[in-house]
Amino acid sequence: MPPSEACLFDIMELSEEALKKVLPKVSIRIVSRLIASYPRAVGRTLLNVMSESMHPCTIQILKDEMSIGKIPSLVQIREAEREFLRTMNQEKVLPSTRLQA
């Protein structure tokens, strides 16, 4: 699956261990866009995993980013999904049937 075909369901299917591997590799801005765009679908899970596995300063930066940020546009949401999926692919956390050859 090319990274250009990002899918929220791919992100939702990740285990906590996979998220712990991917989250440090993506920008806070990308994570904040996903959380703001999908608070119920992935937002809570991303925040919980980050709270358990990342430095409190990182969490504070994320909170600051979200408090000053606007609601992301559709283009920004799709960009965030693509970037997250690209990182998932690089970290090899996608199911083997979804990895690029």
| 3-17 confidence digits (pLDDT tens) | 445 577 878 888 889
Rounded to the nearest 5 percent, the helix, strand and coil shares of the chain are 70, 0, 30
CA distance 51 to 46: 8
- Cβ–Cβ contacts within 10 Å for residue 50, how many? 20
Instruction: Give the tens place of pLDDT for each residue, 61-70.
Output: 888 888 886 7
Q: What mean pLDDT is predicted for residues 60-88?
A: 88
CA distance 25 to 27: 7
CATH number of 3-90: 1.10.220.30
Domain positions in the chain? 3-90
Angle between helix 28-37 and 44-53 (nearest 10): 140
For the entire predicted model, the pTM comes to: 0.79
Chain centroid to CA 85: 8
What's the length of the chain?
A: 101
Closest residue by Cα to residue 77 from 29, 25, 12, 45: 29
